[in-house]
Amino acid sequence: MARILITSAIPYINGIKHLGNLIGSQLPADLYARYQRGRGNEVMFLCATDEHGTPAELAAAKAGKPVAEYCAEMHGVQADIARRFGLSFDHFGRSSSPQNHRLTQHFAGKLADAGLIREVSEKQVYSNADGRFLPDRYIEGTCPNCGYERARGDQCENCTKQLDPTDLIEPRSAISGSTDLEVRETKHLYLRQSAMKDQLDAWIDSKSDWPVLTTSIAKKWLHDGDGLQDRGITRDLDWGIPVKKGDEDWPGMEGKVFYVWFDAPIEYIACAKEWADANGRPDADWERWWRTDKGADDVRYVQFMGKDNVPFHTLSFPATILGSGEPWKLVDHLKSFNYLNYDGGQFSTSQGRGVFMDQALDILPADYWRWWLLSHAPESSDSEFTWENFQASVNKDLADVLGNFVSRITKFCRSKFGEVVPAGGDYGEREQALIEELTRRVRAYEGHMEAMDVRKSAQELRAIWVAGNEYLQAAAPWSTFKADPEQAAAQVRLGLNLIRLYAVLSAPFIPHSAAAMLSAMNTLDTEWPEDVGQALSALPAGHEFTVPDVLFAKITDEQREDWQVRFAGTRS
């Protein structure tokens, strides 16, 4: 039994996320976690809300609430939506937790002891209108590299270039919109990433199985221009983790907090500590996942994230871990994704353009969205959500292929044999041929899932569903029954066992529907099909079942047209 640690990029607390955010990290991470659990492996799947920094303060101010109250409320909202989408986190934590406070301050102290933090007097933008220093994300302007007009002071989300606020053309306050800005002197701490460039470069070179997208972004940050730069890890903000060296105050840093991109990745570790504390477990239970001197040396650690998060997870967070000099677990595989665009443009939180997670669940069950998003995951390039494609995929893949198979075989059995797996007949050449085909396909499916090739996994799973439909159409038990009821019984028995097999294989993609299929088959048997032939005899003759309700209702043209209008950009 393998031990697999999985983390998904933690979403900002500032509101409900759209479907592009979901497929960028949390959903494929859940797919992998569910698959590994299904194979009998021990999994720790962690995520959290990212609660510090500019987005939290601005969102709380807009909501008219104290930031701590706002974050607590939105954590509950995001956790509930994640649960309804079937995201099977072992723990969904908070970066504002006491555990993350202590651990972030601990890492800062270790880095300082190692000579990897330096104090810098720098000039920073001050807004006279707002009466405060503006951290980089509080400043917007035009990117000097690509001309994007809404670039932030830390990074351009359009071209991903790392920026300083003073690089921006025509900068303005993200709080008030004021251009009455001036540069004043302030002191901050910098992580000396440049001192670790060679070590990070060698570590990334050792990851030969990482996606090209991941390594190319990391290498670009390491080598383009002046190479890897030192990174500020403190900010002039009220909300955040106070700057300390472990338990000690940090002279000259009074009133400052750690930068959100320093403390947020540390939450992955703190989240496991939160899990242990919440469940009354000793520290050894979480340390065995994160400390190589406490058992984590045999853990495979996999991260999932969108491409915009790659630099921080391939460089800044590893620099923190390595620089501490302590035996913390480093990531083994980092699966990154491109962007999902929306119907001819981009998802936009500010403009309300696109489908947000709560809205999606209001109009259709989670599995409809899970299937489309995963089967169209933006792996090798950006992909696009269109309502026409969504309708076609749901109707053809889920309703016509999988749902139709389940309905036809269960209803036919009920009409001829009752709601019980029929006895009689043996599997013949046609059945053996199906078993051989399914064996090949299941092994291919496993290979794609192990490699985290999401779209290829979905394609193979659909082919497995199609194979059952083609068998049923060719065997035609409704015709066989007239001349040879026993042979028809064997065909039906195989078909009912296929439903159980499909439920087990499909559970990582469509867990709610898989559970409904298992419930209809009256079984809790979720054993993985190491031997497909045996798996297709798991439900013996005489085993009772029920005909399920329609698994997947088709999306009508009228529904599609209504949703196209509704989600074009009207969210308040």
DSSP assignments along 87-100, one per residue: ---SEEEETTSHHH
Q: Is 349 annotated as a binding residue?
A: yes
Residue 272 has pLDDT above 70, yes or no: yes
- Cα three-residue angle 34-35-38, rounded to 5 degrees: 85
Residue 53 has pLDDT above 90, yes or no: no
Structurally, the chain folds into a number of domains equal to 1
What per-residue confidence (pLDDT) applies to 570?
A: 55
One-letter amino acid of 52: H
Q: Is 47 annotated as a binding residue?
A: no
What are 447-478's pLDDT values in tens digits?
A: 999 999 999 999 999 999 999 999 999 999 99
What are 132-157's pLDDT values in tens digits?
A: 888 787 899 999 999 999 999 888 88
d(CA 528, CA 120): 56
- Mean pLDDT over each residue of the chain, to the nearest integer: 94
- Confidence tier at 572 by pLDDT (50, 70, 90): very low
> Domain range for residue 438?
387-535
Please state the rounded mean pLDDT for residues 37-50. Answer: 98
Residue 491 lies in a domain: yes
Residue 368 lies in a domain: no
CATH code of residue 425? 1.10.730.10
Residue 571 has pLDDT above 50, yes or no: no
Q: Is 159 annotated as a binding residue?
A: yes
Residue 276 lies in a domain: no
Torsion over CA: 33, 160, 112, 93 (sign):
negative
Residue 509 lies in a domain: yes
Residue 361 lies in a domain: no
Both tokens assigned to 392? 């076609």
Q: Is the distance from CB of 181 to CB of 173 less than 8 angstroms?
A: yes
Could you tell me the pTM of the whole model? 0.92
What are 212-248's pLDDT values in tens digits?
A: 989 999 999 999 877 899 999 998 888 999 999 999 9
What are 82-138's pLDDT values in tens digits?
A: 999 999 999 999 999 999 999 999 999 999 999 999 999 988 888 999 888 887 878
Please state the rounded mean pLDDT for residues 490-498. Answer: 97
Q: Is 160 annotated as a binding residue?
A: no
Residue 520 lies in a domain: yes
Residue 408 lies in a domain: yes
Residues above pLDDT 90, as percent of the chain: 85
Residue 228 lies in a domain: no
> % helix / strand / coil in the chain, to the nearest 5?
50, 15, 30
Q: Is 271 annotated as a binding residue?
A: no
